[in-house]
Structure 1
């Protein structure tokens, strides 16, 4: 079942690139990121409240710290992504952005102790090779 959510994530990430490229025309990329964030905030809270998972009091200090760090990383990712979209083509920027998949595989092995299998390693190397091809295009 997880893979259905992962495929939906990929679909909406692809739509994000298309919609963003159209939406940032003649707009400061930082302002565009801020506007986008407002909509994400409203949708995320609506889903959390609707699904009954908004028990903020149950979060630990560690939860808060790492969710805050994740939020900061996400925000910076969006700022740089929108700037890259403004300067480059979607067909270049979106796949290079997905280098995050290869980086996540490596970082998960280092920091989370997740196994780095041959299958994961080959996949990560193919993503890195593809990214290099796209950058050199």
Structure 2
């Protein structure tokens, strides 16, 4: 089994590829429709993975709290994707993606604020550098 760090790096690689492929894919297509097509592909792929790996379960086993937060997460994901694809249509991928990654900064703030997580001074410095870096990459001189 791979470590969380390996999975996180793989997620970053696939997120980068997502940005490039999406920028190419939204050319001449309404961003909401492009998001819809992407979502169908994601649902189909995950359906195959869940079925082949034997993870298929009734949603009833999740319980009310689990379902509620997964639905909210799904709504947030959909909103994020719609906004992201619209931004890709309007802007350069090299500038849109770093702004999108400001979610890393927001996750740190939300994790501390709402989940009671703790970050050390070096962690906060890293968060500040991510924010500054995203803004510098997005800056058009």
TM-score of the aligned structures, taking structure 1 as reference length: 0.95
Pair 1:55-2:60 in alignment: no
Partner of 2:18: 16
Distance 1:91 1:31 in 2: 22
Distance 1:131 1:4 in 2: 23
Partner of 1:41: 43
Gaps of at least 5 residues in structure 1 are: none
Gaps of at least 5 residues in structure 2 are: none
The answer to whether the Cα contact below 8 Å between 1:102 and 1:123 also exists between their aligned partners in 2 is no
Distance 1:54 1:67 in 2: 16
Partner of 2:102: 99
Structure 1 segment 44-83 matched on structure 2, within 5 A: 44-56=46-58, 57-83=60-86
TM-score of the aligned structures, taking structure 2 as reference length: 0.92
C-alpha deviation, 1:35, in angstroms:
0.5
* Coordinate RMSD, CA, aligned: 1.1
Distance 1:119 1:39 in 2: 39
Which of 103, 110, 115 is the aligned partner of 1:112?
A: 115
Distance 1:21 1:10 in 2: 17
Equivalent residues, number: 137
The answer to whether the Cα contact below 8 Å between 1:33 and 1:79 also exists between their aligned partners in 2 is yes
Distance 1:12 1:133 in 2: 23
Distance 2:10 2:115 in 1: 25
